[in-house]
Amino acid sequence: MNIVIAMPEIFLLSTICLILLLDVFLREDCRMITYLLTQVALLATALLAYGAMDGEKTTGLNGMYVRDDLAGVLKISILLLTFVVFVYARKYLKDRTIWVSEFFLLGLFAVLGMLVMVSANHLLVVYLGLELLALSMYALVAFNRDDGRSSEAAMKYFVLGAIASGLLLYGISILYGLSGKLEFAEVLTYVSSQNVLENIPLLFALVFIVAGIAFKFGAVPFHMWVPDVYQGAPTAVTMFLGSVPKVAALAMLLRVLAESMGAAQPGWAQLLLVFGLLSVFLGNLIAIAQFNLKRMLAYSTIAHMGFILLGALTGTTEGYSAALFYTITYAMMAAGGFAILILLGREGFEAETLDDLKGLNERNPWYAFIMMVFLFSMAGIPPTVGFYAKLSIIQAVMQAGYLWPAVFMVVMSVIGAYYYLRAIKMIYFDKPEQTAPIQAELDFNILISVNGVLMVLLGLFPSALMGVCSAAMVASRL
Amino acid sequence: MLGEYLPILVFLAVGFGLAVVLLGLGLLAGPRRPDAEKDSPFECGFPAFEDSRIKFDVRYYLVAILFIIFDLEIAFLFPWAIVLDTIGVFGIVAMGIFLTILIVGFIYEWKKGALEWE
d(CA A378, CA A417): 8
In chain B, DSSP finds a helix count (H) and a strand count (E) of 4, 2
Q: Which amino acid is at A38?
A: T
| Cα of B35 to nearest chain A Cα, Å | 36
| Position A163 pLDDT exceeds 80 | yes
Domain boundaries, chain A: 3-475
Give yes or no for a contact between B91 and B80, defined as CB atoms under 8 angstroms apart. Answer: yes
Residue B43 has pLDDT above 90, yes or no: no
CB contact under 8 A, A24 and B100: no
Whether chain A has a CB inside 8 Å of the CB on B13: the answer is no
Find chain A residues with C-beta within 8 A of B112's C-beta: 24
Q: What is the mean pLDDT of residues A243-264?
A: 93
DSSP string, A411-465: HHHHHHHHHHHHHHHHHHHS--S--SPP---HHHHHHHHHHHHHHHHHHHSTHHH
Cβ contacts below 8 Å, chain A against chain B, sum to 14
CB A245 within 8 A of CB A137: yes
pLDDT at residue B54 tops 80: no
- Using the beta-carbon criterion (under 8 Å), do B107 and A17 form an inter-chain contact? no
Query: Which H or E run contains A134?
Result: helix A123-141
CA distances from A238 to A77, A232, A244, A336, A391 (A): 18, 9, 10, 12, 27
Cα separation, A192 vs A186, whole angstroms:
10
Give the residue-averaged pLDDT of B8-16. 95
B49 alpha-carbon distance from chain centroid:
27
What DSSP element (H or E) covers A258?
A: none
pLDDT tens track for A121-156: 999 999 999 999 999 999 999 988 888 899 999 999
Residue B82 is which amino acid?
A: I
pLDDT value of residue A183: 93
- Is the complex ipTM higher than 0.90? no
Whether the CB-CB separation of A399 and A469 falls below 8 Å is answered with no
What average pLDDT score do residues A21-38 get?
A: 89
Query: Does residue A411 or residue B115 have the better pLDDT?
Result: A411
pLDDT tens-digit series, residues B14-40: 999 999 999 999 999 888 888 887 888
pLDDT at B69 over 90: no
Confidence of residue A436 (pLDDT cuts 50, 70, 90): confident
**Residue A272 CB: number of other CB atoms within 10 A?**
26
Q: Running DSSP on this structure, what letter comes out for residue A401?
A: T
Residue B14's contacts (CB-CB under 8 Å, 6 or more residues apart) are: none
Question: In the prediction, which pLDDT does A1 show?
Answer: 66
Mean pLDDT of the B71-82 span: 91
The average pLDDT across A33-51 equals 94
Question: From B97, which residue of chain A is nearest by alpha-carbon distance?
Answer: A14
Burial A111-139 (b: 16+ CB within 10 A, else e): bbbbbbbbbbbbbebbbbbbbbbbbbbbb
| More reliable by pLDDT, A368 or B117 | A368
3-state secondary structure of A225: helix
Residues 44-103 on B with a CB inside 8 Å of A are 100-101
Query: Cis peptide leading into A221, omega within 30 of 0?
Result: yes
Write down the pLDDT at residue B65.
Answer: 85
Mean pLDDT lowest among A5-9, A168-172, A208-212, A473-477: A473-477
Per-residue model confidence (pLDDT) at position A262: 87
B108–A24 C-beta distance less than 8 A = yes
State the amino acid at position A177 in one-letter form: G
**Alpha carbons B91 and B93: distance in angstroms, whole number:** 5
Domain range list for chain B? 1-30, 59-111
Which residue in chain B is spatially nearest to A18 when comparing CA positions? B104
Q: Are A153 and A212 in contact (CB under 8 A)?
A: no
Closest CA to A443 of A334, A339, A333, A368: A339
Establish how many alpha carbons lie within 13 A of residue B13's alpha carbon, considering only the half-sphere containing its beta carbon: 6
The answer on pLDDT for A459 being more than 70 is yes
Q: Do B101 and A24 touch (CB under 8 A)?
A: no
CA A153 – CA A233 distance, rounded (Å) = 6
B111 in reach of chain A (CB within 8 A): yes
Please say if the pLDDT value at position A78 is more than 90: yes
B61 CB neighbour count, 10 Å cutoff? 10
∠ CA A53-A57-A63, rounded to 5°: 120
User: A161: distance to nearest CA of chain B, Å?
Assistant: 21
The Cα–Cα gap between A184 and A121 comes to: 6
DSSP annotation of B3 reads G
**pLDDT at position B44 over 80:** no
* Cα A190 to Cα B46: distance, rounded to the nearest angstrom: 67
Q: Are B48 and B41 in contact (CB under 8 A)?
A: yes
Euclidean distance between CA atoms A116 and A74, whole angstroms? 11
CB spacing of B104 vs A17 below 8 angstroms: yes
Residue B118: pLDDT above 70? Answer: no
The answer to whether residue A192 scores a pLDDT higher than 70 is yes
Closest by alpha carbon to A150, among A104, A98, A100, A112? Answer: A98
- Residue range A304-358, pLDDT digits in tens: 999 999 999 998 999 999 999 999 999 999 999 999 999 998 887 888 888 888 8
For CA atoms A140, A145, A149, A152, the dihedral sign is positive
Of A13, A17, A24, Cβ closest to residue B111: A24
Reported as a pLDDT band with limits 50, 70 and 90, residue A17 is: very high
